[in-house]
Structure 1
């Protein structure tokens, strides 16, 4: 799909979670803050990009409450706002004089459409179901980059749909704020998070063709291309709370694996899988006694990871954590910035398990009284190198040295792999293939009831967990995910065919004068470890077993080959993954532009291209990849 630079991916999607960066030069220009690129950005990944609706609401709050040059960020609860304030104070003290932040609690109710009498610091008796609750963190403008770190790392900021609801409740004169410079919303820290701007250019991309609708964002459950409008009108600002509660219950049941039969073919206006009296069965996740009560929902996948780490820290003695394998960037940042720090084992290979054993022995020798490690966090498989950790060995070490294991299964996904038996906690980004539509964020956390620390974790979550997953986001996620298993099967098959084709022309396969060096895909990379957890049981619904997922990465024999391949590949280009349509990005450029040499030492090369395969016709996909491969091979002398 040809989408112009800076427009949303999918096109014309108000709450899209990706943005079009169609050429290698565009991606580099974005990182370098090139005006040609940043002035055209109207969308972006929500933890990095301040959505236009959120920005508009922020400007209103700043106009009403800011003193001097103060700026603000918005959160759904007081606890999260207080955590942001503490983070600003702590991190600012490390780099300069400590910065103080202040909090304002704002409740916006429907009657505010007629006046400007918002309710500051309201008492609980005035908070009613159709009001919108905001917690505002105000801080000096020069602390914005630190505040934005909290927004990015935790994923706990308000969603764009919540901002839209707040704006809908305000009087029209309050929402007519002056647009600020695009520079104001760029992230002023290091790396790729700096440069998203807020140009309000209207959607100019041509509408998708009929064949594109088969895999694009607006074609799910047989709905027409006005699916977004239908949902907003049916559930939007008059959302029935019972529908939201049912949607969340359905999501928890899907992630718990307890649904005997899902509701993918049921009536469009009823959340059948979320009915309170629905019969459910033993979990299919490898631990039969997992229930929906062991599943907790969060506004983003990173929020699930951040909270998982906090929950473990709350029930265990202080200790460093372990980041095992090269992870998505914010996972490592969380472990480094919250708590005593972490040990980083960046390759995630079996040789790293050997080194981990040595570190654990040394820690115990140094202090035999307390557990040497708080928790080990790993992705299965990892992003972007698709390496799979040796989970049986890691589990044995966790049991021996009494630390917890947190596994991010986003890339493998619950249909393909069974990792819960090795974990204390499994987290996942529901924003990816579980949704597939790239128009809503979400995350989940699953507790393993068979593990040693389950009772302490369960008691802590039951006492402290806040459901901050916005109701309208849950409605979208529930609808998107009804057929996630069917979509994953198609994407698995497509990806395997594409990877087999590309690897046959790679240096790793012995090709002559290849442009591709290696295809990173679980079928070829750390295969034994992946196969150990790949689901071999035949699924009773479709008669299939687990596949290798929809993500792979390519490295090339030259930088010129990387750029030629990427620029010539006819598909959507932008951040994120797990979409129903094929989506590519120069991953290392986007995620590690300011630390390319550091990433390279762990095998994450500057020229790496990461590709998330979609549901397009396989013959068309192979033609597309052959076109890109020929362009790359033309650079080889």
Structure 2
């Protein structure tokens, strides 16, 4: 960790074209990012994909604006017509609420290589195929609302899909992206909010471009022909044409049914050895798992399914969640109740809400669904799931649990959920070079038949094939990686807590260590996986947060910690961020009411040597203590 070179705005991991994080090495850098400081923003070549639109997507969007836009229109790029229509509806509804209706237009572009259009596709063309692109065009000043849809739903196109599209564009069109051109006026007449869906193909005489190449990457992340050969030849990636098989492996892996998890070997036979699920519900099958392009899109999909299958009512957000979960519940449907502490006193409040709403209208459930994280991000609190499950059974509402932080190597929460969601982007992948999410229906749940029918009839697989290839590769050893990360995190947290106010240290710089081992431990242990002999086999995960006795100590600790600094978590390497600054910069006082302090530092522990990790945190601790003394 001490040898890490941190360059402001560079990709994390370095030299990774589809990196999930970005280097923001100091506290000042993070504040500058939130304030839009040109020093920070102009240096960024990467960022978390739901917040920072990948440069390849920006380039493709610019092309689409030039070719299909009218006047100053901007656009969002989405993978299907349905999602594009959802985006347009969201923009219309949000804009009507503030009195300035937005009428967005939809354009469908289907891009094929020249060989495919001429019916003489070469092998390379077959591997990458054609690209389907759905464009939502709108006035430039409406971009912030469109960006909300992109951020909250996680349904924007993949950066790998953007590169596929750019690679298939005719040379003259691709080159035109680099220089301003006059937009095409009147190509598609505006029809207000009426549906307008145009179909366009690339000219059949256009030459085919080879996929764009990037600088060499330690992750071998780019999909140029040489890389594809190396990845497949040495057994890392499945062949690109094996995407459907890779998705079947991923669904089986997430379902916990694989008896032999050797996808690279079994690809030739196309058969997977499966058995009863290890998730606490033995009847879970791969067909109960739905892959999503991001973790947040899994949450959005779960909420949409609840609204489509159950009587409409407010939902409950239980515990302080990652910010976009709450935004989804507030902005789609009739709203939600926010019980932001996530402790038993909030369950008491929940019971009062349920009783009041049931008395007001006994013909329907008092709430739609309860959403909670297990444990929560960033305070690592674990809800009392048995008590909540009892209320759900009594009052007939759905429970949606986000297990991203706990993960099913450590905890068993599916028996308490109707729908289980997770961000596969995090520790399931670990490599921080691909996005993904999963959603599982509990086949033993009371509402499984209606939910299953809804998904059978409405679910769209929009997980881009090349992302699935990388996710499959990355996740083959996730169980082994989690064990290492669990061990490392527990050692670091024990060290830091011994030097904290909560741990009884005198004049400490650290106030509290938020970690499932010390935070709502009883609730966590209820779901913590036990070994065959009754002992505890599940760990406490790799994420923890720190609060400090002064802001100066917090800043000093963060700046001195010799690890990567940037958004995201669950990486194979240690990654830290000033969580409240990044997630709640515009609402610091509100977050503080729920214990999410301005100076909170969130740390995701990686797989480094434990001795090196402990020395690194000792360096940061000494810096924080020195800042406390000099303050």
Using the size of structure 2 for normalisation, the TM-score is 0.89
C-alpha distance after superposition, 1:214-236 (max 9, x if no partner): xxx947xxxx8999986545689
Mapping of 1:307-326 within 5 angstroms?
307-326=301-320
2:469: which partner in 1? 475
Q: Distance in 2 between matches of 1:446 and 1:474?
A: 17
Q: Distance in 2 between matches of 1:588 and 1:179?
A: 37
Indicate conservation of the 8 Å contact 1:113/1:172, yes or no: no
Mapping of 1:521-536 within 5 angstroms?
521-536=515-530
Q: Tell me which of 549, 553, 567 is aligned to 1:557.
A: 549
Indicate conservation of the 8 Å contact 1:218/1:228, yes or no: no
1:31: which partner in 2? 34
The answer to whether the aligner puts 1:89 opposite 2:114 as a matched pair is no
Indicate conservation of the 8 Å contact 1:112/1:169, yes or no: no
Over 3 Å counting, the alpha-carbon distance change for 1:378 and 1:99 in structure 2 is same
2:497: which partner in 1? 503
The answer to whether the aligner puts 1:66 opposite 2:65 as a matched pair is no
1:460: which partner in 2? 454
2:486: which partner in 1? 492
In the TM superposition, residue 178 of structure 1 has moved relative to its aligned partner by 5.0
1:601: which partner in 2? 593
Moved more, 34-43 or 335-344: 34-43
In the TM superposition, residue 635 of structure 1 has moved relative to its aligned partner by 1.8
Aligned pairs, number: 583
The answer to whether the aligner puts 1:432 opposite 2:426 as a matched pair is yes
The answer to whether the aligner puts 1:327 opposite 2:321 as a matched pair is yes
Q: Distance in 1 between matches of 2:108 and 2:239?
A: 25
Mapping of 1:45-56 within 5 angstroms?
45-56=48-59
Over 3 Å counting, the alpha-carbon distance change for 1:3 and 1:233 in structure 2 is farther
2:190: which partner in 1? none
In the TM superposition, residue 545 of structure 1 has moved relative to its aligned partner by 1.1
The answer to whether the aligner puts 1:165 opposite 2:157 as a matched pair is no
Q: Distance in 2 between matches of 1:293 and 1:569?
A: 44
Indicate conservation of the 8 Å contact 1:11/1:203, yes or no: no
Q: Distance in 2 between matches of 1:578 and 1:145?
A: 29
The answer to whether the aligner puts 1:294 opposite 2:294 as a matched pair is no
Note the aligned Cα RMSD (angstroms): 2.5
2:259: which partner in 1? 260
Secondary structure of 1:475 counterpart: helix
Q: Tell me which of 357, 360, 365 is aligned to 1:363.
A: 357
Q: Distance in 2 between matches of 1:29 and 1:56?
A: 25
Indicate conservation of the 8 Å contact 1:73/1:136, yes or no: yes
Q: Distance in 2 between matches of 1:335 and 1:232?
A: 41
Q: Distance in 1 between matches of 2:152 and 2:262?
A: 34
Mapping of 1:80-119 within 5 angstroms?
80-111=83-114
Over 3 Å counting, the alpha-carbon distance change for 1:231 and 1:387 in structure 2 is farther
Q: Distance in 2 between matches of 1:336 and 1:517?
A: 33
Q: Distance in 2 between matches of 1:278 and 1:261?
A: 7
Over 3 Å counting, the alpha-carbon distance change for 1:520 and 1:247 in structure 2 is same
In the TM superposition, residue 174 of structure 1 has moved relative to its aligned partner by 1.2
1:147: which partner in 2? 146
| Unaligned runs of at least 5 residues, structure 2 | 119-125, 181-212
C-alpha distance after superposition, 1:334-374 (max 9, x if no partner): 00000000000000001100110011111111111111000
Over 3 Å counting, the alpha-carbon distance change for 1:113 and 1:508 in structure 2 is same
2:337: which partner in 1? 343
1:546: which partner in 2? 538
C-alpha distance after superposition, 1:565-588 (max 9, x if no partner): 000000000000000000000000
2:583: which partner in 1? 591
In the TM superposition, residue 279 of structure 1 has moved relative to its aligned partner by 2.6
In the TM superposition, residue 12 of structure 1 has moved relative to its aligned partner by 0.5
Q: Distance in 2 between matches of 1:553 and 1:419?
A: 22
Over 3 Å counting, the alpha-carbon distance change for 1:477 and 1:619 in structure 2 is same
1:387: which partner in 2? 381
In the TM superposition, residue 96 of structure 1 has moved relative to its aligned partner by 2.8
1:617: which partner in 2? 609
Indicate conservation of the 8 Å contact 1:539/1:545, yes or no: no
| Unaligned runs of at least 5 residues, structure 1 | 116-126, 182-201, 208-216
Over 3 Å counting, the alpha-carbon distance change for 1:166 and 1:446 in structure 2 is same
In the TM superposition, residue 93 of structure 1 has moved relative to its aligned partner by 0.8
Q: Tell me which of 2, 8, 17 is aligned to 2:5.
A: 2
Over 3 Å counting, the alpha-carbon distance change for 1:231 and 1:316 in structure 2 is farther
Secondary structure of 1:72 counterpart: strand
1:16: which partner in 2? 19
1:249: which partner in 2? 248
C-alpha distance after superposition, 1:256-276 (max 9, x if no partner): 000012117x55xx647xx64
Using the size of structure 1 for normalisation, the TM-score is 0.88
C-alpha distance after superposition, 1:484-503 (max 9, x if no partner): 00000000000000000000
Indicate conservation of the 8 Å contact 1:218/1:227, yes or no: no
The answer to whether the aligner puts 1:513 opposite 2:507 as a matched pair is yes
Over 3 Å counting, the alpha-carbon distance change for 1:226 and 1:472 in structure 2 is closer
Q: Distance in 2 between matches of 1:179 and 1:337?
A: 37
C-alpha distance after superposition, 1:252-309 (max 9, x if no partner): 0011000012117x55xx647xx64323100000000000000000000000000000
Over 3 Å counting, the alpha-carbon distance change for 1:277 and 1:554 in structure 2 is same
Over 3 Å counting, the alpha-carbon distance change for 1:177 and 1:3 in structure 2 is farther
1:124: which partner in 2? none
Over 3 Å counting, the alpha-carbon distance change for 1:128 and 1:499 in structure 2 is closer
Indicate conservation of the 8 Å contact 1:24/1:586, yes or no: yes
The answer to whether the aligner puts 1:176 opposite 2:179 as a matched pair is no
Indicate conservation of the 8 Å contact 1:218/1:437, yes or no: no
In the TM superposition, residue 544 of structure 1 has moved relative to its aligned partner by 7.8
C-alpha distance after superposition, 1:85-128 (max 9, x if no partner): 0001000111232110010110000018999xxxxxxxxxxx99
Q: Distance in 1 between matches of 2:114 and 2:160?
A: 20
Over 3 Å counting, the alpha-carbon distance change for 1:421 and 1:231 in structure 2 is farther
Q: Distance in 2 between matches of 1:180 and 1:546?
A: 55
Q: Distance in 1 between matches of 2:66 and 2:241?
A: 36
Secondary structure of 2:137 counterpart: strand
Secondary structure of 2:476 counterpart: helix
Q: Distance in 1 between matches of 2:609 and 2:446?
A: 47
Over 3 Å counting, the alpha-carbon distance change for 1:260 and 1:153 in structure 2 is same
The answer to whether the aligner puts 1:156 opposite 2:155 as a matched pair is yes
